Chains A and B, each alone.
Chain A
């Protein structure tokens, strides 16, 4: 049986098992996540060696049927999802349950996460615009479930806003797909160059990009995201921020590459929206008073940076900038997941997540704070992390294009991200008697392992950037 088929069906089957049989949810979830990681790695190795693969589902060739395009970019995203998912799953499966109330929360987590995983895998592989819309809907609903998991009123409010924004984005996307059909008569991904050639087609692509911008929380359509990502449970936030947002970004990247030079104007709009998100997110992260809110705003900013990079691709398939964008996506996923898990641990330990209250009596930072710091280094883009290599390539490509204003913007974004992340890291090193009464290090010592592991992966990826970059060479044309 083919890896791609298993990658899309195994998580969904596991989700069903976990939903129907809550007692076995954890074990099912862990096994499925592990299996998924194995499959993703095997597929990536095969594609890295043998080149991109295309598959027609049911034997019906596109445009009538739906195709799977398993190329380097898709494989990279699959591996990214698998790794981050593995880290978060370990965290969820290993966490001790403080009270019975959380048992239900945890059993509800697994089917939702597995559905998210299945939808993301299907989305990365899909080569059909309408099919992308359907996967987005699964993803959006499952992500909303993850947001609402903690059951607090703010979480529910955020989940509602998230779902309605997500639905609005999906409908924009669907409208774009409808117009694509009306223009070109078909909706497989190969139609994109043709769409880029006509006015109606460009309007269709514009609608699709607008839908994606809502889902990726680009300025000025970002309003729903910080609340959703900051009010969910930390593990859920890690998945939402690290992975779910990437889905829209991935499709935008795919369309930008497929669209070639004809969608220059659209890409420019994307870049401007990305720059807006970067500055807006950074500004709010600088002013945030809660740790989770800061990290959530930082997601807006970082995704903005990635969108900016995608917007500035030259449309050539051998370009540097889109590779940089892919690498930034990967490094952001690892670092942001680590960061949210670390924040979860810190919050659990202190009993709150106010930044002003992060001072410690014991100055020695724990593993969670350390993981946070490493993740921060990667997000800022300092060596030797993957974020650094990504930013280096991005700047390289921008300078090659002579896009100096954008270079300045990227540097400004870097400075701002350093500023808001240093706020937290320096707090962790500061002394002071402000430990909340009753707050103590929880007995669960292994709880930092997942955060630390993901952060270390972001660090190590910097030294092994050649692996993802060579994998990207096998991207379908």
Chain B
């Protein structure tokens, strides 16, 4: 398998170089998306399927879509300023990279987390260790992470970024959206439910759901009134609200922030995850479509 790893790594590096050097914006974004997919593959190789799912859905898919949108709106690449800097910068960067590779490869972490997770997993209420870490052991990180999404939503709202206006794409897209949207809902539900015991969870499910919604929006099938945007905004905010209320509620019950009541952990976690899925889907969708209707120039 080492050959496969080497090929994958080479492909990853090649894609990265391509994404960062191609002069054509679309080509560079395409290279970035391929990079995301290859990276997701490499994480499957590193036995991290949860992360691979998230990377494929969010890192490659959604970020790529955002980049594509921006590439269209930003116009062509400006010529690079100074070439004189390129060589010394490359030398310094490769030196830094080499140093980091050496330091990381020479460090081997003592197994501290693994036994702790193994010991605590039965009490966490779920059997997928990644979900246990995300929603129970280190749920505070996850709560703040949702807060990052909310703040990004607020910033995008403040900037009033131009709303995506779906141009007529022809009848061919309609069946596509009509099929993809329900499948994505099903898939999201599946990922959400499976998250407690197998790879999956709120983030992956939310991203898939967002993809389905976006298909509807792009096909012109979704309603686009201001009221809808406002509703989506509130849906985007609701995930953090539910999480915070759950945090405070659990403290009221058990005396510890985010300390779920005994033997009800799974219910709490799934409830929170369900709210998060909807909210993440709404947030990602809004981040992509934008808020304000402006004259398209």
Contacts and interface: CB of A to CB of B under 8 A. Distances in A.
Q: Do chains A and B touch in the complex (CB under 8 A)?
A: yes
Interface of A: 1-2, 4-5, 9, 12-13, 15-16, 19-20, 55-60, 63-66, 108, 111-112, 115, 118-119, 122, 130-131, 134-135, 137-138, 141-142, 144-145, 148-149, 156, 175, 178-179, 181-186, 199-200, 203
A185 B155 contact: no
Contacts of B45: none
Contacts of B252: 1
Given A9-B257, A115-B147, 18 more contacts: A12-B244, A16-B241, A20-B234, A55-B257, A57-B139, A57-B140, A58-B256, A59-B254, A60-B136, A66-B138, A66-B140, A119-B147, A134-B145, A141-B152, A145-B154, A179-B107, A185-B111, A200-B103
B113 interface: yes
Nearest to A116: B151
A182 B104 contact: yes
Contacts of B111: 185
Interface in B242-297: 244, 247-248, 250-252, 254, 256-260
A138 B111 CA distance: 30
Given A5-B247, A9-B247, A179-B107, A144 B113 contact: no
A445 to B, nearest CB: 30
B144 interface: yes
A156 B159 CA distance: 9
Interface size class of B (residues with CB under 8 A): 35 or more
A24 B73 CA distance: 35
Given A56-B256, A57-B258, A58-B257, A64 B116 contact: yes
5 contacts: A1-B251, A57-B139, A58-B136, A182-B107, A185-B109
A2 B254 CA distance: 12
Contacts, number: 151
Contacts of B259: 57-59
Q: Decide if the interface of chain B is mainly helix, strand, loop or mixed.
A: helix
Nearest to B265: A58
A112 B248 CA distance: 22
Contact of B241 (A13, A56, A185): A13
B117 interface: yes
Contacts of B155: 112, 141-142, 144-145, 148
B159 A5 contact: no
Interface of B: 100, 103-104, 106-113, 116-117, 120, 136-141, 144-145, 147-148, 150-152, 154-155, 157-159, 233-234, 237, 240-241, 244, 247-248, 250-252, 254, 256-260
Given A16-B240, A58-B260, A115-B147, A134 B141 contact: yes
A131 B141 contact: yes
A111 B256 CA distance: 27
Contacts of A2: 251, 257
A45 B106 CA distance: 47
A184 B116 CA distance: 15
B137 A58 contact: yes
B103 to A, nearest CB: 5
Contacts of A65: 137-138
B136 A64 contact: no
B107 A200 contact: yes
Contacts of B120: 60, 64
Complex A-B, nearest 10 residue pairs according to Cβ-Cβ distance, in ascending order = A185-B109, A185-B112, A58-B258, A185-B110, A145-B155, A182-B107, A64-B116, A59-B259, A134-B144, A5-B257
Contacts of A20: 233-234, 237
